Chain A
Amino acid sequence: MKKLVSLSLVLILALSLLAACGQTAPSSSQAPASEAASSEAAPASEAASSEAAPASEAASSEEAPAEEGGESWKEEHPGWLCEEKQTLSVYTWEGVSSSFLPPSNDLFFWQWMEDYTNVHIEWEVVPYADYSTLIAAKLSSPEKLNDIVNMGASAQTALSAGQNGMMVDFSEHWYDWFPCMSKMYDDMGIPYAQNVTNYDGSMYAITTFAAPRFNRIILLYNLPWLEQLGLEIPKTVDEFTECLRAIKAAGDLNGNGQDDEIPFTATSVEWLLPAIGTAFGVENIESCDFFSADENGVVFPEYTSDNMKAMLGWLGDIYQEGLLDAEIATNTMDIVAEKVTAERVAVVAMYASFCGSYSNLTKAGQETPNSEIYTIGYPLTSELAPTPKMTMYENYGMFTGVSTDCENPELAARWLDALYADDNVMLVRCCGKPGETFEVDENGEPKIIMPADGSAWTNKNLGCGQLSLPYIQSDLQLTFSAKATRPWYIEKYTEHFFDYAEWAMPSVPKVPGYTEEETEIRDLYQADLKAGWEEYRDKFITGALDVDKDWEAYTKTLEQLGMNEMCKCYQSVYDRTR
């Protein structure tokens, strides 16, 4: 009897062990019932919203290649990509921070998008943290891939996946499958297709494109505190330092009985530097690799420039004085949001679009008062850089492709094209609900309909939360949502930046079109160089190392970590792409 029991136990355990080895990916029909239900529950009223789209926008869809047979459904629904409703599956991340809503069919925009394109989306959404690991595991597994896959920020991942036959090559279909995108970039004069084409002529992904426009990392000032102390928004580094000193000397500005005010902070050191870099002549500091090209087209590393040394030295000084957040090296977005919401922060280095009330630094979607508490500062200047400048940052990132497992790659590509560049989609994505949050005037321009109670719209009302698929940081998106949520935003931004400062020098473009050799060099050195830079940078700022005494050792270390090899690599990229 004992033997029988033990034998059956062993058999069951062995079978369960083997059963786990052969698990296959859930088919699209096995998507969570709640998602399917949510799409069915989309309000019927939204279906009509696409019809309310302005006629000027509808013209863009007419420029798409004519459908064979002249189907009447296309005339009735110009945005539809297919006559019968089709389903596509998408693999992507939740959002770059907890501030953003993850994509879901519960959100207005995606419900509208389904009605507009006649394509239902089944989302497979995973955490943003560690996405590179998750996508690597996804692509390495034998499971069937989703139709559309966000491959994260690595050009190499997209290239490898494509070369291994997992991704559809768009190079032959650029103008056929991406009519809106190709037209948009051609109109803008940006050689997008050329820049996202790999060295072997393939194009396995389309990418986000961040134009250097309205959303730079800048200094945001606590306006009530400045007014309380009778301070002006500083324009030079010296004025800024004095302003911080005055704030520190003022003591209990928030009136909570504690000495807990923080004169100057940032969500990380990485976000601190772009806000003050141009003040010291370190102009290209918002991208990951600090290699710039001078006026003669010679690429040089910003890491070891004299201007960088001056900036790190100044940061070290204000840290020692207690003007810079003592936790600057360990801050995160959420920690800083807590500090800001607790009314402890005077100046914060942050993306311009975060300016406004306290909760603009906390979760999107919260009902917030339409008040100007954190206001936009000027780009600072100093003797090293007497002209005020804005950082110029042009980037290609977030690679999204269509998998070869997709049964209808053209449909998937056209859906991406619509999401990325269709005028109607852009309008609803940026401006919210037609007829409710905006309307189109006689000139075809969208106009905000402000809430009746005098408050402002929130991101939740306006759009879709974080777009976790390719998007362009368009002027429309940034200016409109800013106008709706913070009416003073564009005015201040224009006054303090566009009418005041010049563009900084351009960075070496971060395009995927690197040759195999260039890709190898970058992959060999990039991570180590970045880690080495971050280590010294934080130590210089927090006083663990002395800029004057340890600069030589720092330079030598970065050289050992491949800085010069990277510089040569970027020079060849720059020469080829500019």
Chain B
Amino acid sequence: MKKPAAAGDALSLELKRSHRRARIKSQSPYWVMLIIPMLFFFLVRYWPMFGLSIAFQNYRIGDAFVSSHSRWAGLKWFQMLLKNPNFFRLVRNTLVLNILSILIAFPLAIGFALLLNEIRIRRFRNLTANISLLPYFISTVVIVAIIYNVFSVDDGLVNMILVKLGRAKINFLATSSWFRPLYIGSDIWQHTGFNAVVFTAAIAGIDPNLYEAAALDGSTRLKNIFYITIPCILPTIIIMLLLRIGSIMTVGYEKIILMYTPMTYEVSDVLSTYAYRAGLKDQKFSLSTAISLINSVVNVALLVGANRLTKKISDTSLW
């Protein structure tokens, strides 16, 4: 009895191997094409990680990242960062800007995609989508220049309107309480159209039969949004949300550096701007690297935690 079973197993194993070989052969062009992104990630993302070692050194320009001459400093730069009286303010500002962005800008992109989907005239829908996409391609410097022109206290459009209405001028650009609204508001204006693209694509992938069946059952368009569209794009929303959480400690410093003044440091100075000032302007590369390393570690921890949570709740996760 055992012999036929063993022969069957061998046959089955051979079949599996042959099937795997055939599958690999048929997919070979894709495997080869994968070399490019892998090379990219290795050279641009992983290889530079050796540079992280300078967070533990007294690094100077021109030093090798690791050599027998490296001047190791242990956790000196991490301790220095933690001792900085402004450290918690930097972390708070970074988190607040990102959380506000997630709470306001992220849902707006979803809402915009849903609204676009409801436009019945195709040409108008395409035109609206294209117009909303355009600000994304304007450089940050130009965006900030527009902000300065519109909100300038001296001859800005908004202040001119305020004066016409008999109200006092507001120094938007040098007032702490106005920094976040300006930053988030301009971010929404610039990125909502682009961020909605992913959700628009997800909506386009929903089976039209679902809407037809719902129409037969007398469903309204509003009900379609809540009971068909949103549930169908929920996995995409979750994935995008996870990716945002994975970069919650990271704020692009370019726009802030262009926008902030000492008057607004209280709410605008974030970890990345501090890393820029300390690391690049004052040449404390080790401190700057230590900040980036802390950022990355916290980001990874948050990403893993959020991923586990969503997996438990919704069965959708990054891995």
Interface residues in chain A, defined as those with a beta carbon under 8 Å from any beta carbon in chain B:
2-3, 6-7, 9-10, 13-14, 17, 21, 132-133, 136, 139-140, 154, 156-157, 160-161, 163-166, 260, 269, 326-327, 329-330, 339, 523-524, 526-528, 531-532, 534-535, 537-539, 542, 544, 557, 560-561
CB of B28 within 8 A of chain A?
yes
Q: Which one of B63, B85, B152, B261 lies within 8 Å of A329 (CB-CB)?
A: B261
**B28-74 with Cβ < 8 A to chain A:** 28-29, 32-33, 35-36, 39-40, 43, 60-63
Q: Is the CB of B174 within 8 A of A330?
A: yes
When chains A and B are docked, how far (Å) is the Cα of A329 from the Cα of B262? Answer: 8
Q: Is the CB of B62 within 8 A of A160?
A: yes
Q: Is the CB of A535 within 8 A of B266?
A: yes
Q: Which one of A133, A523, A535 lies within 8 Å of B284 (CB-CB)?
A: A523
Q: Is the CB of A157 within 8 A of B283?
A: yes
Residues of B within 8 A of A140 (CB): 61-62
Q: Is the CB of A6 within 8 A of B261?
A: no
When chains A and B are docked, how far (Å) is the Cα of A528 from the Cα of B86? Answer: 9
Q: Residue on A with the closest CB to B59?
A: A160
CB of B18 within 8 A of chain A?
no
Q: Residue on A with the closest CB to B273?
A: A531
Report A295 CB to chain B, min CB distance, Å: 32
Report A311 CB to chain B, min CB distance, Å: 17
When chains A and B are docked, how far (Å) is the Cα of A193 from the Cα of B228? Answer: 79
Report B70 CB to chain A, min CB distance, Å: 12
Report A566 CB to chain B, min CB distance, Å: 14
When chains A and B are docked, how far (Å) is the Cα of A527 from the Cα of B282? Answer: 7
Report B225 CB to chain A, min CB distance, Å: 41
Report B54 CB to chain A, min CB distance, Å: 11
Q: Is the CB of B60 within 8 A of A163?
A: yes
Residues of A within 8 A of B43 (CB): 17, 21
Interface residues in chain B, defined as those with a beta carbon under 8 Å from any beta carbon in chain A:
28-29, 32-33, 35-36, 39-40, 43, 60-63, 80, 84-86, 148, 152-155, 169, 171, 173-176, 261-263, 265-266, 269, 277-278, 280-285
When chains A and B are docked, how far (Å) is the Cα of A269 from the Cα of B84? Answer: 25
Residues of A within 8 A of B35 (CB): 10, 14
Residues of A within 8 A of B278 (CB): 527
Residues of B within 8 A of A17 (CB): 36, 39-40, 43
Q: Which one of A9, A161, A557 lies within 8 Å of B85 (CB-CB)?
A: A557
Residues of A within 8 A of B169 (CB): 326
With A2-B29, A157-B61 known as contacts, the answer to whether A132 contacts B263 (CB < 8 A) is no
When chains A and B are docked, how far (Å) is the Cα of A429 from the Cα of B148? Answer: 39
Residues of A within 8 A of B86 (CB): 528, 532
With A139-B61, A164-B60, A557-B85 known as contacts, the answer to whether A535 contacts B265 (CB < 8 A) is yes
Residues of B within 8 A of A327 (CB): 152-154, 171, 174
With A329-B174, A527-B277 known as contacts, the answer to whether A542 contacts B154 (CB < 8 A) is no
Q: Is the CB of B280 within 8 A of A136?
A: yes
Q: A140-B62, A538-B174 are in contact. List 13 more A-B contacts (CB 8 A).
A: A13-B36, A132-B280, A160-B62, A327-B152, A327-B171, A329-B262, A527-B284, A531-B269, A535-B265, A542-B171, A542-B174, A542-B263, A557-B85
Q: Is the CB of B265 within 8 A of A531?
A: yes
Kindly list the 10 A-B residue pairs having the minimum CB-CB distance in the complex, ordered from nearest. Answer: A164-B62, A534-B262, A160-B60, A6-B29, A560-B85, A329-B174, A538-B262, A535-B262, A527-B282, A160-B61
With A6-B32, A528-B86, A535-B263 known as contacts, the answer to whether A133 contacts B280 (CB < 8 A) is yes
Report A200 CB to chain B, min CB distance, Å: 13
Q: Is the CB of B262 within 8 A of A132?
A: no
Q: Residue on B with the closest CB to A21?
A: B43
Q: Is the CB of A161 within 8 A of B61?
A: yes
Q: Is the CB of A538 within 8 A of B263?
A: yes
Q: Is the CB of B265 within 8 A of A526?
A: no
With A21-B43, A561-B85 known as contacts, the answer to whether A526 contacts B262 (CB < 8 A) is no
Q: Is the CB of A330 within 8 A of B61?
A: no
When chains A and B are docked, how far (Å) is the Cα of A132 from the Cα of B169? Answer: 37
When chains A and B are docked, how far (Å) is the Cα of A528 from the Cα of B262? Answer: 12
With A524-B80, A528-B84 known as contacts, the answer to whether A538 contacts B60 (CB < 8 A) is no
Chosen A-B contacts, 7 in total, with CB atoms closer than 8 Å, are A10-B32, A136-B283, A139-B61, A157-B61, A326-B169, A539-B263, A544-B175
Residues of B within 8 A of A523 (CB): 282-284
Q: Residue on B with the closest CB to A151?
A: B61
Of the listed residues B33, B155, B283, the one surrounded by the most CB atoms of chain A closer than 10 A to its CB is B283
Q: Residue on B with the closest CB to A139?
A: B61
When chains A and B are docked, how far (Å) is the Cα of A330 from the Cα of B155? Answer: 13
Q: Is the CB of A531 within 8 A of B153?
A: no
When chains A and B are docked, how far (Å) is the Cα of A329 from the Cα of B85? Answer: 24
With A2-B29, A535-B265 known as contacts, the answer to whether A544 contacts B176 (CB < 8 A) is yes
Q: Is the CB of B28 within 8 A of A154?
A: no
Residues of A within 8 A of B277 (CB): 527, 531
Q: Is the CB of A3 within 8 A of B63?
A: no
With A327-B154, A330-B173 known as contacts, the answer to whether A133 contacts B281 (CB < 8 A) is yes
Report B154 CB to chain A, min CB distance, Å: 5
When chains A and B are docked, how far (Å) is the Cα of A165 from the Cα of B278? Answer: 24
Report A37 CB to chain B, min CB distance, Å: 33
Q: Is the CB of A326 within 8 A of B154?
A: yes
Residues of A within 8 A of B148 (CB): 330
Report A497 CB to chain B, min CB distance, Å: 30
